[in-house]
């Protein structure tokens, strides 16, 4: 009987990854050792300088206070134990400098009191450094949490805007397809009824004609409402065509002058950005027609380098000199839409009468061009 051994493949970590980890660890340790060596060398050098000055001034003028400088550096940038070590070295150097300067006796009591003072000072400083480090860590954690919260809020804002836009499109599609078709069938039935009454010379023929007219007006109103909720041109052919359709819709709905002049190609390739720009123009133009009694509405899109400026102007009654941020849902929606795409929105008076709403947005660099609506 013959037995075959099957060697199963084993998963091994790539040697390159392990080597990189080892190199990183060695590099970090080397930097740490170099920093500790540099700190220790600096502290010992300062102790030597203070000791030499202490020797020059004589033992009658002790310079124990100046040894706090290297002790402070060791306790703050190093550790409490390093601070204690530098304190011991400082006491020894101070006693040696006094002996070299001609001191007849060694003040062990004074040295002990100085060491206790140095130790307390190093302990307090080390504790303060720990508290500062803890505070800095908490600040960094809080900052990171706030950044994550802001990023999450921006993500939720984008999702809400996408959901709202989909619901707008669905509602507009339902109005156009369901209610619009139903009203169209009703209008045809009313037209047939009117024709029959007219053939019979019935007095109700005029009432049937009114019914047909009312239903046709309802069809036009439904179509205009559907256009307000949903703009198929924006997704199909771009922002320029959508804004042209918006101008025609405003002119038709409110019987005012809102015309489109310029190129259809606007350098906005992101559909989300194009949608928000369209909504801002739609909200501003609709408000001007409904609430400002404007007779002429103009929309201008200017691209200079990497900056795109959308301006909607009218000749209506204008806005107050001081516009409150808390009032006006439409204004808040426009500002929110501008913020979602990284732009800014400003509202100001258009000379003596009228209003200008301006949205500025940074886009990828394009050749300087201007489009007027």
Helices (H), the chain: 15-57, 68-73, 80-100, 108-174, 180-199, 205-229, 232-236, 239-254, 271-291, 329-340
pLDDT of res. 120? 92
Backbone angles phi, psi at 128, to 5 degrees: -65, -40
pLDDT of res. 359? 92
What global pTM score does this model have? Answer: 0.56
- pLDDT single digits (tens) 20-73: 665 566 555 456 545 888 888 888 998 899 888 888 888 778 788 888 889 888
Evaluate if residue 372 carries a pLDDT over 50: no
3-state secondary structure of 53: helix
Report the alpha-carbon distance of residue 268 to residue 274 in Å, rounded. Answer: 6
pLDDT of res. 262? 61
Average pLDDT over residues 215-231: 75
Evaluate if residue 134 carries a pLDDT over 80: yes
pLDDT of res. 327? 56
pLDDT of res. 367? 46
Evaluate if residue 301 carries a pLDDT over 80: yes
Judged by phi (left if over 0) then psi (alpha if -120 to 50, else beta), residue 42 lies in alpha
Q: Which residue has the higher pLDDT, 51 or 364?
A: 51
Banded pLDDT at 114 (limits 50, 70, 90): confident
3-state secondary structure of 4: coil
Banded pLDDT at 111 (limits 50, 70, 90): confident
**Are 54 and 62 a contacting pair, CB within 8 Å?**
yes
Tokens read off for 241: 């065509």
Q: Which residue has the higher pLDDT, 74 or 230?
A: 74
Average pLDDT over residues 227-245: 68
Average pLDDT over residues 160-174: 78
Evaluate if residue 16 carries a pLDDT over 60: no
Report the alpha-carbon distance of residue 14 to residue 19 in Å, rounded. Answer: 9
DSSP class of residue 27 equals H
- Identify the top-confidence range among 71-85, 172-186, 222-236: 71-85
Mean pLDDT of the chain: 79
Banded pLDDT at 107 (limits 50, 70, 90): confident
Task: List, in order, residues 6 or more apart from 46 with CB less than 8 Å away.
Answer: 69, 70, 73
Architecture in CATH for domain 254-373: 2-Layer Sandwich (3.30)
Q: Interhelix angle for 180-199 vs 205-229, to 10°?
A: 170
User: In 3D, which of 372, 352, 333 has the Cα closest to residue 164?
Assistant: 333
Long-range contacts of 237-242 (CB under 8 A, 24+ apart): 237/264, 238/264, 238/265, 238/266, 238/268, 238/274, 239/266, 239/268, 239/274, 239/277, 239/278, 240/264, 240/265, 240/266, 240/371, 242/274, 242/278
pLDDT of res. 34? 53
Evaluate if residue 324 carries a pLDDT over 60: no
Average pLDDT over residues 174-196: 82
**Are 107 and 63 a contacting pair, CB within 8 Å?**
no
* Domain regions of the chain by residue span: 21-158, 254-373
Evaluate if residue 109 carries a pLDDT over 50: yes
Evaluate if residue 323 carries a pLDDT over 80: no
Mean pLDDT is lowest, of 141-150, 219-228, 306-315, 364-373, for: 364-373
Mean pLDDT is lowest, of 160-169, 175-184, 330-339, 361-370, for: 361-370
């Amino acid at each position: 009987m013959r037995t075959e051994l099957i060697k199963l493949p084993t998963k091994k970590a790539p040697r390159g990854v392990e080597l990189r980890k080892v190199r990183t660890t060695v590099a970090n340790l080397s930097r740490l050792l170099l920093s500790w060596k540099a700190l220790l060398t600096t502290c010992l050098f300062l102790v030597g300088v203070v000791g030499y000055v202490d020797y020059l001034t004589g033992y009658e003028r002790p310079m124990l206070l100046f040894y706090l400088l290297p002790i402070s550096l060791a306790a703050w940038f190093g550790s409490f134990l390093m601070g204690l070590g530098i304190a011991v070295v400082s006491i020894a150097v101070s006693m040696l400098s006094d002996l070299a300067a001609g001191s007849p006796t060694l003040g062990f009591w004074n040295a002990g009191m100085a060491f206790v003072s140095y130790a307390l000072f190093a302990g307090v400083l080390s504790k303060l450094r720990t508290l500062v480090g803890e505070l800095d860590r908490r600040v960094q954690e809080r900052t990171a949490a706030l950044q994550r919260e802001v990023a999450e809020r921006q993500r939720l804002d984008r999702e809400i805007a996408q959901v709202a836009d989909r619901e707008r499109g669905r509602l507009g599609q339902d109005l156009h397809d369901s209610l619009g078709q139903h009203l169209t069938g009703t209008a045809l039935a009313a037209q047939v009824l009117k024709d029959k009454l007219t053939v019979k010379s019935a007095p109700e023929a005029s009432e049937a004609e009114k019914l047909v007219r009312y239903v046709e007006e309802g069809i036009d109103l439904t179509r205009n409402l559907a256009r307000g909720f949903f703009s198929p041109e924006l997704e199909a052919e771009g922002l320029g065509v959508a804004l042209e359709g918006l101008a025609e819709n405003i002119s038709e709905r409110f019987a005012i002058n809102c015309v489109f002049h310029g190129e259809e190609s606007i350098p906005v390739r992101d559909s989300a950005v194009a949608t928000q720009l369209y909504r801002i123009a739609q909200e501003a133009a609709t408000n001007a027609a409904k609430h400002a009694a404007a007779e002429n509405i103009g929309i201008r899109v200017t691209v200079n380098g990497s900056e795109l400026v959308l301006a909607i102007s009218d000749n209506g009654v204008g806005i107050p000199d001081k516009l409150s941020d808390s009032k006006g849902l439409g204004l808040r929606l426009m500002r929110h839409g501008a913020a979602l795409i990284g732009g800014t929105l400003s509202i100001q008076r258009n000379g003596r009468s009228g209003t200008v709403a301006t949205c500025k947005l940074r886009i990828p660099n394009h050749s300087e061009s201007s489009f007027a609506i």
